[in-house]
């Protein structure tokens, strides 16, 4: 199988495409394909981020055949077409090859004071939804897929909407402030394209969180 990878030597460098041939088992993840490219005594390895290798950490988020996905959670034999095309996430600055700097996610959550502070559970909220949101990997796939998210300047994207619901349900703090931040950094910019739910690797029901936040 032909594998095309978009590479970049260092931040700001000109990206370039490199082609490889993969001849191994097709019943494997894209992460395994990248590893196999890297392991052939290759002095020029393709950099990529990885930690858990089982879709629990979000490290290996990238764009695979045009779709934002986790490499360890995407199986080659389930992909359409005869080619595998891999690119880094496009909405974050590239550090090297497939490794991007997703620091903006943490920065924006900090900017919007996304924390619980003093905990108090409001029983009118759904513990199940909070649990689902608590599993968010902060991988950035929802931001990549969202047509409204550009660089995170003012619109902080679906993961912020989820976390807003989470802290609203669990914080004793100033709920009006939480809602204000939600409106400012999410509700105003969301066009309800729903691409976020489709790409979420842990299936967070973002739409439910949005619906509940909008009703407040």
Residues that bind other proteins (CB under 8 A): 11, 25, 28-29, 31-32, 35, 39, 41, 43-45, 47, 49-54, 56-59, 72-73, 95-96, 101-103, 106, 109-110, 113-117, 119, 127, 130-131, 134-139, 167, 170-171
Cβ atoms 17, 2 nearer than 8 A: no
Q: Give the nearest distance from C-beta 35 to other proteins in angstroms.
A: 7
Q: Give the nearest distance from C-beta 192 to other proteins in angstroms.
A: 26
Residue 53 or residue 207: which is nearer to other proteins going by CB? 53
Residue 90 or residue 172: which is nearer to other proteins going by CB? 172
Q: Give the nearest distance from C-beta 95 to other proteins in angstroms.
A: 7
Lookup: tokens for 86: 């891999």
Q: Give the nearest distance from C-beta 99 to other proteins in angstroms.
A: 8
Residue 176 or residue 192: which is nearer to other proteins going by CB? 176
Residue 43 or residue 147: which is nearer to other proteins going by CB? 43
Residue 18 or residue 193: which is nearer to other proteins going by CB? 18
3-state secondary structure 120-173: CCCCCCCHHHHHHHHCCCCCCHHHHHCCCCCCCCCCCCHHHHHHHHHHHHHECC
Q: Give the nearest distance from C-beta 176 to other proteins in angstroms.
A: 18
Cβ within 8 Å of residue 206, ≥6 positions away = 142, 158, 161, 162, 196, 197, 200
User: Beta 2-7 vs 99-100: how paired, if at all?
Assistant: unpaired
The H-assigned helical ranges of the chain are 30-39, 103-111, 127-134, 141-145, 158-170, 175-182, 195-199, 206-215
């Amino acid at each position: 199988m032909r594998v095309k990878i978009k590479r970049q030597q260092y931040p700001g460098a000109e990206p370039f495409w490199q082609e490889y041939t993969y001849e191994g088992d097709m019943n494997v993840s894209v992460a395994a394909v990248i590893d196999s490219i890297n392991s052939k005594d290759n002095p020029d390895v393709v950099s990529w981020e990885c930690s858990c290798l089982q879709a629990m950490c979000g490290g290996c988020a990238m764009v695979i055949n045009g779709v934002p996905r986790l490499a360890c959670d995407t199986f080659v034999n389930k992909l359409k077409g005869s080619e595998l095309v891999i690119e880094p996430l496009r909405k974050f600055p590239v550090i090297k090859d497939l490794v991007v700097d997703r620091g903006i996610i943490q920065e924006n959550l900090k900017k919007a004071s996304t924390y619980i502070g003093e905990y108090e559970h409001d029983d009118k909220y759904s513990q199940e939804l909070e649990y689902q949101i608590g599993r968010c990997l902060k991988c950035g796939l929802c931001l990549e897929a969202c047509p409204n998210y550009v660089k995170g300047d003012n619109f902080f994207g679906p993961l912020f909407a989820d976390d807003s619901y989470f802290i609203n349900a669990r914080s004793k703090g100033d709920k009006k402030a939480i809602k204000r931040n939600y409106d400012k950094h999410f509700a105003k910019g969301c066009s309800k394209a729903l691409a976020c739910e489709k790409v979420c690797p842990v299936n967070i029901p973002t739409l439910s969180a949005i619906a509940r936040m909008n009703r407040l």
